[in-house]
A and B are shown apart, each in its own frame.
Chain A
């Protein structure tokens, strides 16, 4: 696995775990802790989107000269996730357990199939195409992450 793959795939793993622990708490009905956990999860997601949308995708688009290609599909799926995250947030505010879990389940599957495409196809392509700049890209991602948190 190349540097870029590794860095961003790890990040996927972190988001999965944050989602799982959020879901576990919602199932128990502990609303006190839920809001904090939810915020941590949503922040991690937004951070990951930013790493891709502000650093990886533009770099790839510059390289290939294509803005309507695979990166456009990935951006579109990020939007779909944001819609679900908003639905989840509203349900959390209303303490509506069924809707939180329902939109969460849908979100999780969307995330997973999105990650499959990225980890199996997009990231390896980025590793190949951007092998020379890989270290620099990872460094820029690290910087953006520190700035956001």
Chain B
């Protein structure tokens, strides 16, 4: 066993600009999404298939959530798995641009121009960028020396992203009249693989490492680090098979009940993860509760509400029309995911800036140069401003759920969400400016 076996590095990689180009773009897509929502007005919620709603959905799922997660993976894979990503200095910018253009194309293709060429072009960009990303990441993760549970979760999560894209492409081909548009079966399958596979499995895998470390809790139990992931993933596969079987062979009633049972089972598994996390946090050694802790709590709360809402019968008088239930569930899910990701960003961005500044400072010190002090994490983004962002985000989401029942709440709710993303954008760009300013000071 040699130290320089393939794909192994303990270097302080990657360069800061690789994850940052994704982190700086994500909140801009958030702003754009909420501006679009303001512009289209409360009617976007009339149906879950409103083209404007689907456009906004993908500005958030691809532009904010996937964008941030791709950036975070570029950062985390070397640290957690010790693997170098192939040609990352060249490929990261290419993937970034492809993802930006693909997302914009997909969104615009839905609500502004019904041009078919735009739909085709966006598919090419999304396949090119995300396909490349999945490919190079999986190679890095399979080659990784360290094969602990987080690496396995990351792999399953990336495979799920691939499945989500394939299903999304079927749907897009349906819109292009190339095949039948199987609603709601394929749509539900697509969003389930997106949320539960791609997003949730990655969040879970990263939490397994990060929560015990940052909050100084005991480790997660073995069933979560070992058996949980394959059971979860196989259930997702079974869901896929159930839908395809029913599309091919009929017997809809049987497969519909199988589908509900599997979805219920998956939601139960998510619920178990939340319970395990709360139990660990109860045993935490660290008293201090930082912003990430509260964002995490918020995410759990709304996921829990979302799961409960899902189980309220479709025929309940609360849901004037059937889509409303799915839309409310959807808002809760987005709310939780975006909260979680927001919290992570507020931890990662200041840390990376501090880390890289200090590395430069030490370099300069070794050369015997006098250097100015480097700002600490809490000086890079102030805690107080983060609380503002959290409060705006939280109130905006409350109003958006309210707007399903009282349309008046719509504009204020979306406005607050827009403000929270303006604030987030400003924080991240502000941090980046501080980083550039101090870098110059050190080098001067």
Tell whether A pairs with B.
yes
Residues of A within 8 A of B (CB): 16-17, 19-21, 23-24, 27, 60, 64, 66, 69-70, 73-74, 76, 79-80, 83, 87, 98-99, 101-103, 105-106, 108-110, 112-113, 115-117, 120-122, 124-125, 128-129
Report which of A27, A102, A122, A128 forms a contact with B379, defined as CB distance below 8 A.
A102
Cβ of B288: which chain A residues have Cβ within 8 Å of it?
Answer: 23-24, 27, 101
1/0 per residue, CB under 8 A from A, across B269-298: the answer is: 000000000000000011110100000000
B287 x A27 contact (CB < 8 A) = yes
- The A contact surface, by secondary structure, is helix
CB of B121 closer than 8 Å to a CB of A? no
Cβ of B376: which chain A residues have Cβ within 8 Å of it?
Answer: 87, 99, 102-103, 105-106
- The B contact surface, by secondary structure, is loop
Q: Closest chain A residue to B373 by CB distance?
A: A87
CB of B87 closer than 8 Å to a CB of A? no
Cβ of B290: which chain A residues have Cβ within 8 Å of it?
Answer: 105
Docked CA distance A60–B146 (Å) = 18
Cβ of B145: which chain A residues have Cβ within 8 Å of it?
Answer: 121, 124-125
Residues A121 and B82 in contact in the complex (CB < 8 Å), given A80-B359, A110-B355, A115-B213: yes
Cβ of B214: which chain A residues have Cβ within 8 Å of it?
Answer: 108-109, 112
Residues of B within 8 A of A (CB): 1-4, 8-12, 79-82, 145-146, 148, 209-210, 213-214, 216, 285-288, 290, 347, 351, 354-355, 358-359, 362, 376-379
A21 x B79 contact (CB < 8 A) = no
Docked CA distance A8–B148 (Å) = 18
Residues A17 and B216 in contact in the complex (CB < 8 Å), given A102-B379, A129-B1: yes
B10 x A21 contact (CB < 8 A) = no
Known: A105-B378, A121-B8. 4 other contacts (CB 8 A): A60-B3, A70-B9, A102-B376, A113-B351
Selected A-B contacts with CB under 8 Å, 11 pairs:
A24-B287, A66-B3, A80-B359, A102-B378, A106-B351, A109-B377, A110-B351, A112-B213, A120-B80, A120-B146, A124-B145
Q: How far is the CB of B344 from chain A (nearest CB, A)?
A: 12
Residues A128 and B1 in contact in the complex (CB < 8 Å), given A23-B286, A108-B214, A120-B148: yes
B377 x A117 contact (CB < 8 A) = no
6 tightest A-B CB contacts, nearest first: A70-B10, A121-B82, A102-B378, A20-B285, A24-B287, A20-B286
Docked CA distance A60–B3 (Å) = 10
Q: How far is the CB of A108 from chain B (nearest CB, A)?
A: 7
A23 x B146 contact (CB < 8 A) = no
A117 x B82 contact (CB < 8 A) = yes
Cβ of A113: which chain B residues have Cβ within 8 Å of it?
Answer: 79, 351
Most B Cβ at <10 Å: residue of A23, A105, A129? A105
Q: How far is the CB of A4 from chain B (nearest CB, A)?
A: 14
Q: Closest chain B residue to A111 by CB distance?
A: B213
Q: Closest chain B residue to A73 by CB distance?
A: B10
B209 x A116 contact (CB < 8 A) = yes
Docked CA distance A21–B216 (Å) = 10
Docked CA distance A17–B82 (Å) = 26
B3 x A64 contact (CB < 8 A) = yes
Docked CA distance A99–B9 (Å) = 34
Cβ of A129: which chain B residues have Cβ within 8 Å of it?
Answer: 1
Cβ of A98: which chain B residues have Cβ within 8 Å of it?
Answer: 378
Q: How far is the CB of A73 from chain B (nearest CB, A)?
A: 5
Docked CA distance A74–B355 (Å) = 14
Docked CA distance A13–B8 (Å) = 25
Q: How far is the CB of B428 from chain A (nearest CB, A)?
A: 18
Residues A80 and B1 in contact in the complex (CB < 8 Å), given A105-B290, A106-B351, A116-B79: no
B216 x A20 contact (CB < 8 A) = yes
Docked CA distance A21–B285 (Å) = 7
A105 x B377 contact (CB < 8 A) = yes
Q: How far is the CB of A78 from chain B (nearest CB, A)?
A: 11
